[in-house]
Amino acid sequence: MARKRDIAIGVIIAFCFLLFGSIFVVTMFDMYSGEGASMFAFGDRIAIIDVYGMLSSSADIVRQIQEYGDDNSVVAILLHVDSPGGGVAVSQEIYDEISRVRIEEGKLVVTSASSVIASGAYYIACASDMIITNPGTLVGSIGVILQYPVVDELIDKIGIDFETIKSGDVKDVGSPYREATDEDREMLQAAIDDSYEQFIEVIMEGRDLTREEVIEVADGAVFTGRQGMDLGLVDRIASFEEAIRITAELAGIDGKPRTVKERPRKDVTLFDLFKTDLSGLLDGRLPFPGPQLQYLYR
């Protein structure tokens, strides 16, 4: 009787372990898969990376590019872009990583744009092998912008004074508490001009255009995807789904291509909200950020 009981308990324990193991495997597969997880991957796949919204940080996009660049089952990366651009340095970091993966890892990189691929977003697209847009996609806004608020008159009205002790005349350049001087403007304009020149050079190299051809369209203007194709800024006019098929064809994938895409985190905790909303106050930052160079479509 005791032996039968022990056998029954053993069967129950084994079943529980098997059930737990199955749940664990399914959970891990769901967490780390897009349309297929790397740990279960077979055959050639296309990795899709979303580049949405303003480019304020490069960390997440660069991480994904690195991971898919190291994944032997991924033969091509498709950037799905819908962005007005963002920070100059942020755009450059993403651009550099795309270039590295193409050269060092031999990965094909294609950019497919949705509604907007402007300024910094177009900058990073110039590192890819092909740029694809819809006919009505907004393309361009090639240029640099720097903006910051000036609230000195408002502060005077409410009776607040700010004392600034500095080591040089332009140390507090971009301060919202005073008007810009001619020296401030000259220095900032020089930084903008240099960043603009870097943008021009990237487009010349990535799009195989002459300096004159780039300068002609690099005044901040935006174009439709169809216009952009005529100007040499775009390679193909196609939808995102068609871009997947084009990428598969370029990568030499036969049949229907398999894709993988990182799933965004869905759960937002109270800590996340607190960290997002109050981080600026906790680390002592001013309510008005200093001037930032941006490849951004306003």
* Domain boundaries along the sequence of the chain: 1-32, 33-296
- Whether pLDDT at 156 is above 90: no
pLDDT in tens, 42-97: 568 999 999 999 999 999 999 999 999 999 999 999 999 999 999 999 999 999 99
More confident residue, 17 or 232: 232
More confident residue, 122 or 151: 122
Catalytic residue among 56, 171, 275, 279: 171
pLDDT in tens, 172-205: 888 888 888 999 999 999 999 999 999 999 999 9
- Whether pLDDT at 282 is above 50: no
More confident residue, 267 or 115: 115
pLDDT in tens, 104-113: 999 999 999 9
Phi, psi of 191 (to 5 degrees): -65, -40
Q: What sign does the dihedral 222-224-225-227 (CA atoms) show?
A: negative
Catalytic residue among 38, 83, 99, 119: 119
DSSP assignment of the chain equals -HHHHHHHHHHHHHHHHHHHHHHHHHHHHHHHBSSSBGGG--S-EEEEEEEES-B---HHHHHHHHHHHH-TTEEEEEEEEEE-EEEHHHHHHHHHHHHHHHHHS--EEEEEEEEEEETHHHHHHTTSSEEEE-TT-EEE--S-B------HHHHHHTT-------SSTTTTTT-TTSPPPHHHHHHHHHHHHHHHHHHHHHHHHHHT--HHHHHHH-SS-EEEHHHHHHTTS-SEE--HHHHHHHHHHHHT--SSPEEEEPPPP----HHHHHHHHHHHHHTT--SSPPP--EEE--
More confident residue, 64 or 36: 64
How confident is the model over 1-20, as a mean pLDDT? Answer: 59
Predicted structure pTM score: 0.80
> What pLDDT is stored for residue 95 in this prediction?
98
- Report the phi/psi class of residue 106: left, alpha or beta, with left for phi > 0 and alpha for psi in -120 to 50: left
Answer yes or no: are the C-beta atoms of 234 and 126 closer than 8 Å: no
Answer yes or no: are the C-beta atoms of 98 and 110 closer than 8 Å: no
Is 166 noted as a catalytic residue in this protein?
A: no
pLDDT bin (cut points 50, 70, 90) of residue 298 is confident
CATH of 33-296, one of 3.90.1150.10, 3.30.70.360, 3.90.226.10, 3.90.1520.10: 3.90.226.10
More confident residue, 248 or 43: 248
pLDDT bin (cut points 50, 70, 90) of residue 212 is very high
Is 114 noted as a catalytic residue in this protein?
A: no
More confident residue, 51 or 287: 51
In the block, tokens 């370029």 appear at 250
> What pLDDT is stored for residue 104 in this prediction?
96
How confident is the model over 127-145, as a mean pLDDT? Answer: 97
